[in-house]
Amino acid sequence: MSGRWRSSGAQNRYRNSPLSILQSTITSTRNVIFTAAKTSNSIAPLLLPNGVNLRPELADPTFFWRSVRFNLTAPCLDISYESVRRWFLKFGTAIARNLRRMRPTPSDYWHLDEMVIVIRGRRHWLWRAVDNEGEVLDFLVQSKRNAKAALNLMRKLLKKQGWAPTRITTDKLRSYHAAFRTLGLTAEHIDNKRANNRAENSHQPVRRSERKQQRFKSPGSAQRFLNIQSAVYNTFYFQRHLLNRPTFKRFRTDAFNVWESASAGA
């Protein structure tokens, strides 16, 4: 019994050893790549550590966007963060444009709000518009928080949507009143901060992204990143507390299908 116990203990020690973990990681990663290689028509080879030549779709940079979900630190893959950044800049705008084209018409109840962001030590304002279901309509990074800035947001928003809302909810900032008078909007205006929680909560994903990036580097880069981030957020955002599990899974599957179509057409 003692011999069998020592043998079992040795197996447990090997199973938890760094060598065993490394071998299992390489095996699982190879399985992913072999699966991708079976359906690949690309001519770009991938040289694995054991000298086996495969032909996955790594010649197409959008392959990482739409087909593969794996750890970029896998032992047999050498990909720099700069490559991922360049793919994001090259394909992100086109994918976001396709995602917006596939979205349904938003609600005619709009919520407007602004949040402060610090860029290179200077305060800027992110003006944001969402509907009553949390759909991000538009946003604009500006250096001022006045009537002109509110007017710029509304003009961009009306031009993009192509129609005027029936109700607008804001906080008590007087700049919104001046902008609405200038545009001649006849929509119902509710300027109660407590009624604008929908817009306040929509800032939370932006705050999380801002912390991960250690703040935005310029107004242009912030506008470009949020333009892509908002399109992806709209595609995968669901009011989870209102859905049961089967319905939620069906919506998630539909969202991934939309994502694959949008990225394939980029």
pLDDT tens digits, 33-86:
444 444 444 433 443 444 444 444 444 444 444 444 444 445 556 677 788 788
Structure tokens at 199: 């817009």
- Shared domain for 123 and 183, answered yes or no, is yes
Q: Is 239 contained in some domain? A: no
Q: How high is the mean pLDDT of the chain?
A: 77
Q: Indicate the pLDDT class of residue 127, thresholds 50, 70 and 90.
A: very high
- Shared domain for 113 and 59, answered yes or no, is no
Give me the DSSP letters along the chain: -HHHHHHHHHHHHHHTSHHHHHHHHHHHHHHHHHHHHHT------EE-TTS-EE--GGGSTTHHHHT----TT-TT----HHHHHHHHHHHHHHHHHHHHHTSPP--SEEEEEEEEEEETTEEEEEEEEEETT--EEEEEEES--SHHHHHHHHHHHHHHH-S--SEEE--S-HHHHHHHHHHT--SEEE--GGGGHHHHHTTHHHHHHHHHTTS-S-HHHHHHHHHHHHHHHHHH---GGGS-HHHHHHHHHHHHHHHHHHHHT-
- Shared domain for 128 and 204, answered yes or no, is yes
- Shared domain for 60 and 116, answered yes or no, is no
- Shared domain for 38 and 127, answered yes or no, is no
- Shared domain for 216 and 138, answered yes or no, is yes
Asked whether the predicted pLDDT for residue 135 surpasses 70, the reply is: yes
Q: Is 187 contained in some domain? A: yes
The pLDDT value given to residue 124: 95
Q: Indicate the pLDDT class of residue 192, thresholds 50, 70 and 90.
A: confident
- Shared domain for 147 and 218, answered yes or no, is yes
Q: Into how many domains does the chain fold?
A: 2
- Shared domain for 122 and 207, answered yes or no, is yes
The pLDDT value given to residue 75: 52
Asked whether the predicted pLDDT for residue 150 surpasses 90, the reply is: yes
Q: Is 251 contained in some domain? A: no
List the CATH number of the domain containing 193: 3.30.420.10
Q: Is 258 contained in some domain? A: no
Written in H, E and C, the secondary structure of 21-43 is HHHHHHHHHHHHHHHHHHCCCCC
For residue 155, give its domain range: 109-222
- Shared domain for 57 and 122, answered yes or no, is no
Q: Is 156 contained in some domain? A: yes
Check residues 57 and 250 and name the one with the higher pLDDT.
Answer: 250
Q: pTM higher than 0.75 for the full model? A: no
Q: Is 250 contained in some domain? A: no
Q: Is 69 contained in some domain? A: no
Q: Is 86 contained in some domain? A: no
